[in-house]
Amino acid sequence: MSKIQTITILGSTGTIGMNTLDVISRHPGKFRVVALTANRQVERMFQQCRQFEPEYAVMLDSDSAEELRRKLKVAGIGIEVQSGIEALEKVASLPQVDSVMAAIVGSAGLRPSLAAAKAGKRVLLANKETLVMSGSLFMDAVRLHNATLLPIDSEHNAIFQSLPRDFSSNLDESGVKRILLTASGGPFRLAAPNDLDHVTPQQACAHPNWVMGRKISVDSATMMNKGLEVIEARWLFNADADRIHVVIHPQSVIHSMVEYIDGSVLAQLGNPDMRTPIAYALGFPERIDAGVPSLDLFKIARLDFEPPDIARFPCLGLAYQALRRGGTAPAIMNAANEVAVDAFLAERIPFKAIPDMIERVLEKEGTVPVERLEDVIDADADARETAQEWMMTMGYA
């Protein structure tokens, strides 16, 4: 990479964003941060602005933007501060930006990620919901505008590394039999069903292997995270549901695998550290140092595998159901899940009510084909309203 790579980081104060900045900081002269964005974490954004001196800082929340603007002015730091979704779309499509790390959690990341694709950027996609909600629209935008798409999720990054370098979105032509998505099983893999009746947010967020944000941690505990990744894989690799299999692998050392028709299974291994896939995407097609310790195979000693228990993790089954149903069903499912997880983290609903809410919303909401972004946005809004109504009906609100 002789040319300095310019980058916008959408969601810089989250786990992925901070890890991205950690990798960038290890390679002075190779990267230049043009824009950083966040929701409300003003102090962390302020510190990032001081260190990386971007041209733009965007806060989704307007009050947070005003607070950041004041702090930067007092510190004598001349960075343009903006707010709102339109500002996120703007910094995702700036002409001086080469790459966009799309790491905003949830549906809020959809529009800026799509803006980056439409601007023909190199999109480092860490936002699952973009493909879950609008997979066909997003992939069409990537192709139409000659964008480059590099997956950041450790599982999809592993699959990307295990596929042929010239993979052209045709599994059959590449001799691929199936994709094997590994999953740790989360903190409740071995819990008795009755033990899930009184799960606290703290317990659900205590992932055994990965350090993640609260929303993603709860998704991992319900295995909805893996369900979202199944849908994501469908679009990234043009694979139907029957060719995407989930494998529980509690050590989280094998990040995913690709099985070929000749019986070969190629896997990507590494320590459970998000800096590895981030560095792979930042440096692609080269390899750059991620700051990750070497994998000690002798310390690991063993690798275990088991099938997922759908009875224990009904969210995974609901994700497959939504994928097969198609149209706006994945967007409906995602919206219901976001409402459910927020309510659980606020201790308004119990842990086991999360799949119940998603199932009821999927049953009630009609599905339409996704032909434009408004179809997705409307389905998302309707599903959220239905989810809130369900909580009131059940006496949780």
Residue 60 amino acid letter: L
60 plus 145 within the same structural domain: yes
- Above pLDDT 70, what percent of the chain? 99
139 plus 164 within the same structural domain: no
196 occurs within a structural domain:
no
92 plus 42 within the same structural domain: yes
45 plus 137 within the same structural domain: yes
330 plus 305 within the same structural domain: no
Number of domains in the chain: 3
Give the whole-angstrom CA distance, residue 311 versus residue 157.
Answer: 28
CA-closest candidate to residue 107, choices 77, 62, 138: 138
pLDDT band of 204, cuts 50, 70, 90? very high
283 occurs within a structural domain:
no
pLDDT tens track for 14-65:
999 999 999 999 999 999 999 999 999 999 999 999 999 999 999 999 999 9
- Above pLDDT 90, what percent of the chain? 91
Average pLDDT value for residue range 302-310: 94
Give the pLDDT confidence score for residue 1 in this predicted structure. Answer: 45
Q: Name the residue range of residue 298's domain.
A: 154-190+201-272+294-309
Average pLDDT value for residue range 191-200: 86
159 plus 305 within the same structural domain: yes
pLDDT score of 288 more than 80: yes
What residues have CB less than 8 Å from 345, skipping those under 6 apart? 201, 214, 215, 218
CA-closest candidate to residue 254, choices 185, 306, 288, 305: 305
pLDDT tens track for 336-345:
999 999 999 9
266 plus 369 within the same structural domain: no
Give the pLDDT confidence score for residue 193 in this predicted structure. Answer: 78
277 occurs within a structural domain:
no
Strand partners, 225: none
Give the pLDDT confidence score for residue 211 in this predicted structure. Answer: 67
205 plus 347 within the same structural domain: no
Give the whole-angstrom CA distance, residue 223 versus residue 119.
Answer: 33
Give the pLDDT confidence score for residue 128 in this predicted structure. Answer: 86
164 plus 123 within the same structural domain: no
pLDDT band of 135, cuts 50, 70, 90? very high
* b/e map 93-108, b = 16+ CB within 10 Å: bbeebbbbbbbbbbbb
Average pLDDT value for residue range 114-124: 98
pLDDT tens track for 354-395:
999 999 999 999 999 999 999 999 999 999 999 999 999 999
146 occurs within a structural domain:
yes
240 plus 183 within the same structural domain: yes
CATH number reported for the structural domain that contains residue 333 in this entry: 1.10.1740.10
CATH number reported for the structural domain that contains residue 77 in this entry: 3.40.50.720
pLDDT tens track for 166-187:
999 999 999 999 999 999 998 9
286 occurs within a structural domain:
no
Give the whole-angstrom CA distance, residue 80 versus residue 55.
Answer: 6
* 228 and 236 Cβ atoms separated by less than 8 Å: no
316 occurs within a structural domain:
no
259 plus 389 within the same structural domain: no
pLDDT band of 397, cuts 50, 70, 90? low
Average pLDDT value for residue range 222-246: 97
Average pLDDT value for residue range 326-334: 96
133 plus 39 within the same structural domain: yes
Average pLDDT value for residue range 135-139: 95
Give the pLDDT confidence score for residue 2 in this predicted structure. Answer: 61
Average pLDDT value for residue range 312-321: 96
Average model confidence (pLDDT) for the chain?
95
367 occurs within a structural domain:
yes
Give the pLDDT confidence score for residue 122 in this predicted structure. Answer: 98
pLDDT score of 210 more than 90: no
Give the whole-angstrom CA distance, residue 147 versus residue 63.
Answer: 34
Give the whole-angstrom CA distance, residue 87 versus residue 60.
Answer: 8
Structure tokens at 120: 């023909």
Q: Give whole-number Cα distances, 344 to 25, 132, 206, 214, in Å.
A: 36, 22, 15, 11
280 occurs within a structural domain:
no
